[in-house]
Amino acid sequence: MAIWRNELTRMFAHLLCILAYGVVAVALAVGLPDYVPALEPVMAYGAGALAFLLFALLHGALARRAERNALYGELDELRVNLSEAEFRLERQSELLDSLAGDIASQEALGKELVLIRNLLGQLGRNTAQTAPQADPTPAGPAARGQHPENDETDDDEAEVAGPPAPKVDPELSESDVLNIVRWALKENRVDLYLQPVVSLPQRKIHYYEAFSRIRGPRGQIIEPGQYLKLAADAGLLPTIDNLLLFRCVQLVRRIRRGRNREQGPSFFVNISSHALADEQFFPQFTEFLELHRDLAHSMIFELSQADLIANQETVGPHLRRLFELGFAFSIDHVTRLDFDYKALAERGFQYMKIDAGALLGEADGVRSDIQMADVQQALARAGIQLIAGKVEHEDTVIGLLDVDIAFGQGYLFGRPKRSQDDIDEGRAAAAG
């Protein structure tokens, strides 16, 4: 209705203008002979008609200009409205993205909690005896907080590595160790220790191997060698391995949080034979990683050759799924070199760790009918990076350089040290 009213108003204004300059033209045609007697009436009429035409042209030009300005104004208003609509749409899109991210985070958190609950449930079911209610820390030097530092040289460490671990308390009894392990797992007292993997000869840190260590109430560290047999006898070892693997992934994820995913060192994370063979845990673990695909840029899963061979049929689908998610694999504790290296690379294995002594022919333990140089060439053709392990002496480095080994790992380059991020969070939690 308003549009029709505006159109009628505009038409009425045009008619008034036409009437006005029509009156002027007629007056000119009629009155001109009175002012100019010599002028023929026909000429006066022509002058009136010409004046009418000029007025009409001028009116048309002015009307078109006014309409054009009105259109420009409407276009400007439309642009403003469009910009406002785009801004509101962008805000709504950001809100939807935020809600989607929150939903995804809640889903990931839910799966994480389910996985933890199941693991702790297994721990409770498999525990032969309940953990004591009293302080599980035994008496002795470690219980009193006396933790000498590791006697090691000052190596250049990356910012993610903190101080060395306190020495293991040798006075712990078997029951003490098992009780502390149960308590620590339930209380989430698992720390991340990192050992550098460096390039040769520059010794620049490119990777870290991540180890999980169980920590008692007073800070004493329980090494795997102290609890493996005890946990196996108590039926706890599969659950402990699963919990440690999951905790290690959590800690690596925390270290990478807020950092550029494409930069910085990657982390080797070990998967045990128990985790690989657990048909209940490993599918859930894979689902958890599906919600954290960004970890594929910074995490490499490491399996021993024996575990890979023993569980090949069982874990094949799980490893294939992790490979599809973008995760790479490493194989260590190599004792045989009769691999199909191309097939290994096609399954996602991009790294192989062999002890430096075996690479240099100075130690037994690796069986092979081919020369190590041929093995290196086969690995290079398959795109698998060879890493020398257990490098402990400078002479070993010289030997590795002579046979073109590009990466090394061992005490010479740094012992496993607790992650600095893990230390900082522990201090913040204690302060809070």
% of the chain at pLDDT higher than 70:
71
- Quick one: average pLDDT of 391-395? 94
Residue 431 has pLDDT above 80, yes or no: no
The CATH code belonging to domain 127-431 is: 3.20.20.450
Q: CA–CA separation, 211 vs 302, rounded Å?
A: 11
Query: Where does residue 252 fall: left (phi above 0), alpha (psi -120 to 50 degrees), or beta otherwise?
Result: alpha
pLDDT at 145: 33
Please provide the DSSP assignment of 365-430 as one string: --B-SS-HHHHHHHHHHHTPEEEEE---SHHHHHHHHHTT--EEESTTT---EEEHHHHHHHHHHH
Of the two residues 173 and 161, the one the predictor is more confident about is 173
Q: CA–CA separation, 162 vs 255, rounded Å?
A: 13
Of the two residues 48 and 383, the one the predictor is more confident about is 383
Instruction: Determine the 3-state secondary structure of 353 from DSSP.
Output: strand
The pLDDT tens digits for 84-136 are 888 777 777 776 666 656 655 556 556 555 566 666 565 555 554 434 433 44
- 53-57, 357-361, 375-379, range with the lowest pLDDT: 53-57
The pLDDT tens digits for 286-329 are 888 888 888 888 899 999 998 888 877 777 888 888 999 999 99
Cα–Cα nearest to 303, from 276, 281, 284, 331: 331
Binning pLDDT at 50, 70 and 90, where does residue 168 land?
low
DSSP structure class, residue 17:
H
Return mean pLDDT, the chain.
76
Q: CA–CA separation, 226 vs 167, rounded Å?
A: 13
Residue 160 has pLDDT above 60, yes or no: no
Tell me the backbone φ, ψ of residue 171, rounded to 5 degrees.
-90, 0
Binning pLDDT at 50, 70 and 90, where does residue 379 land?
very high
- Quick one: average pLDDT of 44-62? 75
- 63-77, 144-158, 232-246, 306-320, range with the lowest pLDDT: 144-158
pLDDT at 69: 83
User: Cα dihedral angle (192, 164, 207, 347), rounded to 10 degrees?
Assistant: -50
**Strand-pair partners of 316:** none
Residue 57 has pLDDT above 70, yes or no: yes
Of the two residues 221 and 399, the one the predictor is more confident about is 399
Q: CA–CA separation, 241 vs 246, rounded Å?
A: 9
Binning pLDDT at 50, 70 and 90, where does residue 356 land?
very high
User: Cα dihedral angle (304, 280, 287, 228), rounded to 10 degrees?
Assistant: -40
pTM value is 0.65
